[in-house]
Amino acid sequence: MVVSMAMIAAERATAFPESPYAWVLTRDRAYELHGGESEVGTAGPAQATDEMVARARTEGRRFRLLDEGDVDAGVVADGKPVDPGERGVVYEGLIWTAGEPGGGEDFGPLDDFGQPNYGCTEIQYLDSDKWVSL
């Protein structure tokens, strides 16, 4: 059996939640602090189409993923200061959702990537000029 890209896209679409979304990482603070391989540009979830990821990049709302401060532990141990406003921030990114903000898909970046990849425990969205946790 030959599998085409259209067949793959159709299968991905049927597995997608009722309210589709896409996100892309724009900052990898863990990389900034510790080096390694940057996750900037990583996008998801797996079912998101290229068009949806492009919308996240151009129309997306800003989010950030936080851990319980582990990302900062080595920096603090080295005696370097950590900006209190950035304590625990691991990743930042942009999300586009088909539905209104505040739906379950707003947890997508945390569930899809932040928690399994780095152990992030919290997601925040920029509301005017302050970060608000969901």
pLDDT given at position 82: 87
Considering the entire predicted model, what is its pTM? 0.84
Q: State the sign of the Cα–Cα–Cα–Cα dihedral 117, 120, 124, 130.
A: negative
pLDDT given at position 118: 94
**Mean pLDDT of all residues in 66-73:** 90
pLDDT given at position 2: 60
Mean pLDDT over each residue of the chain, to the nearest integer? 88
pLDDT in tens, 10-49: 555 555 556 799 999 999 999 999 899 999 999 999 999 9
